[in-house]
Structure 1
Amino acid sequence: MEQWYVLKVKQGYEKKVTEGLTKMNIQVYCPIVKEVRFWSDRKKTVETPLIKSYVFIKSTEANRSTAFSVHGVERYLFWLGKPAIVRNEEIEVLKDWVSNDAVEDVVYAQLQPGDRATIRRGLLKDQVAIVRHVGKTRVSLVLEDMGIVVNARLKEVV
């Protein structure tokens, strides 16, 4: 039976690993978001992985090891001594979230690392998150039920 597993990859290799696994006919998902980067002379919209250093693959337990033939793959993510398995519903939530640009729809008020917050709107409505880091333009949230960290751009609050 095929299930979604979480692969830890070298930092910056998410897209390369995704391409390599796709060429091997392995179903792979790397959530990509668009973000605007500013340089001193210009701004540019770039595509970056939503979850840095991780990609999801759909495989059978017996075929999991074939992923290691792709350069950049480091290891599988384990949970309680077993390979972490992500439910199909959770992958679909990520896909919907990314395709609807919901990652940008984050509003915050004086969040501090360690705070618990319940997401009130969007596709992750009612998910409980722990605030990991708050920057000037980004927030990092740990979604314990899904076993992932999400980095989101903060929306300006007027």
Structure 2
Amino acid sequence: MALNTDTDKTKWYPVYTHSRAEKKAYEALIDKGIEVYLPLQRTLKQWSDRKKWVEEPLIKSYIFVKIEENAKTQVLMTKGIARFIYFSGRVTAMPSKQIEDLKLLMASSLELEVTEENMQPGEKIEIKAGPLKSLTGELITYKSKTQLLVRLDNLGCSIIVSIAASLINRF
């Protein structure tokens, strides 16, 4: 029985992994037939003797699984998985729109920054053209730049993207 079917019963859940175990947990979940998303960002690392491009998780220690509620035990019994994320005493699910927005951000060539700073809500906007077309978020000024904030409320973090004012629709 495949667990990655697109039905109304499946939801996206953020899952906390053991430290630096995101990729191994991702592979183990794929092997189990579970639909999983791990946003990776390419980063240049500096060692004492060399530099190397590596792919690192955009949000450290988090991966996202799309499962039916009765598959939670199977996810928890996967090597590298620590726990589901709870909010108000219940396992939290993420809206599919947030996962799609995250995938859209990752597919763009823009530089992304994840922050856990508590930023104040701003003007709601939608991007009207370019690789992030239809992405919604908040307009903010951060470090003297006009940027789009995509808030992942269930994780307590946000993703900041620099965006040209000409690509923004305000509503």
TM-score (norm 2): 0.67
Match of 1:127 in 2: 138
> Please, which of 20, 33, 37 is the counterpart of residue 25 of structure 1?
33
Calculate the aligned-residue CA RMSD, in Å: 3.1
CA distance in 1, matches of 2:98, 2:33: 22
Contact conserved, 1:51 with 1:151, CA < 8 A, in 2?
no
> Please, which of 44, 53, 64 is the counterpart of residue 61 of structure 2?
53
Contact conserved, 2:11 with 2:67, CA < 8 A, in 1?
yes
| Rg comparison, structure with higher value | 2
Contact conserved, 1:5 with 1:84, CA < 8 A, in 2?
yes
Equivalence map 1:8-157=2 (5 Å):
8-102=16-110, 104=111, 114-116=118-120, 118=122, 123=132, 125-127=136-138, 143=151, 145=153, 147-150=155-158
CA distance in 2, matches of 1:21, 1:44: 28
Contact conserved, 2:45 with 2:54, CA < 8 A, in 1?
yes
Q: State the shift of 1:127 in Å.
A: 2.8
Count of matched residue pairs: 138
Q: Which letter maps to 2:64? A: F
Residues 151 and 48 of structure 1, relative CA distance in 2, 3 Å threshold? farther
Gaps of at least 5 residues in structure 2 are 1-8, 144-148, 163-171
Q: State the shift of 1:145 in Å.
A: 3.5
Q: State the shift of 1:82 in Å.
A: 1.2
Residues 55 and 115 of structure 1, relative CA distance in 2, 3 Å threshold? closer
Q: Deviations over 1:80-123 (max 9, x none)?
A: 11111111111011111011133x156xxxxxx55537597864
Contact conserved, 1:128 with 1:144, CA < 8 A, in 2?
no
Gaps of at least 5 residues in structure 1 are 107-112, 135-140
TM-score (norm 1): 0.72
Identity of aligned residues (%): 30
